[in-house]
Structure 1
Amino acid sequence: MEEYVSIKQNREFQRIYSKGKSFVSPALVTYVLKNRKDTLRMGITTSKKTGNAVRRNRSRRVIREAFRSMPREICPGFDLIFVARAKTPMMKSTELSRVMAQHLKSAGVIK
């Protein structure tokens, strides 16, 4: 898989939340929006609803690892935001990877 660029600015998160398409499961929410660049951009959000700092950091690590192990067929030119939910810190990255793949397939990001 080609590398991705991190989304860090609040206004970019807000733009993707408002204009992007969302896919929801008990473990993860995925927002997808086509960008005008030829790069894959990814951001992760964990709210305080997820739990304390340890759980939020674990959620981010699990999401990052699940994304890293995704198949190589991910198309460039998309902005992706993954929002952790209460179940996320309790999951393994392999389980989350399956959920993520399902979201990205329905979004048309995976060929």
Structure 2
Amino acid sequence: MLQRKWRLRKKSEYKAVFGAKKSVASKYVVLYCGRGKQKYGFIASKKVGNAVQRNRAKRLMREVVRRHWRDLAEDRQVICIARPFLKGISYFEVERSMVHAMRKSGALKRERL
């Protein structure tokens, strides 16, 4: 679980990141990136599925951020949005998709060995 200080919580914080208008899409996630203190937000709309599937999607995305924490840029605020295709996908596919999107967006500061 990400600590509270690392999460985007307020509507104004989400609006600021969406306002930066820098987005990168991959097969399973869309990332919106903005500048600022390192924080992350996770969204799964009803298109992803019922509450169980939406919560699983957010858990998978949070776990990818947690496992790659040391590799992430410290001057980025990122919103991860689950796409409907994420339903029923393994963690490893989600990880590969998110890392690819983070690399394209500049949210990944270095490669993992």
If the TM-score is normalised by the length of the shorter chain, which range does it land in? 0.7 to 0.9
Letter of the aligned partner of 2:84 in structure 1?
A
Name the CA distance, whole Å, in 1 between partners of 2:56 and 2:79.
17
Q: Give the aligned partner of residue 107 of structure 1.
A: 105
Name the CA distance, whole Å, in 1 between partners of 2:75 and 2:42.
18
TM-score scaled by length of structure 2: 0.83
Name the CA distance, whole Å, in 2 between partners of 1:60 and 1:109.
18
TM-score scaled by length of structure 1: 0.85
Letter of the aligned partner of 1:103 in structure 2?
A
SS in structure 1 at match of 2:92 = helix
Q: Give the aligned partner of residue 20 of structure 2.
A: 19
Name the CA distance, whole Å, in 2 between partners of 1:16 and 1:71.
19
SS in structure 2 at match of 1:72 = helix
Residue 3 of structure 2 corresponds to residue 7 of structure 1: no
Counting only pairs closer than 5 Å after superposition, residues 1-111 of structure 1 correspond to structure 2 as 5-35=6-36, 37=37, 40-70=38-68, 72-111=70-109
Letter of the aligned partner of 1:91 in structure 2?
I
Do the aligned partners of 2:26 and 2:98 also contact (CA within 8 Å) in 1?
no
State the Cα distance separating 1:12 from its structure 2 match: 1.3
User: What RMSD over aligned residues (CA atoms) do the two structures have, in Å?
Assistant: 1.7
Letter of the aligned partner of 1:43 in structure 2?
G
State the Cα distance separating 1:65 from its structure 2 match: 1.2
Identical columns (%): 29
Gapped runs of 5+ residues in structure 1?
A: none
Do the aligned partners of 1:6 and 1:43 also contact (CA within 8 Å) in 2?
yes
Do the aligned partners of 1:69 and 1:97 also contact (CA within 8 Å) in 2?
no
Letter of the aligned partner of 1:88 in structure 2?
L
Q: Which moved more, 1:17-26 or 1:58-67?
A: 17-26
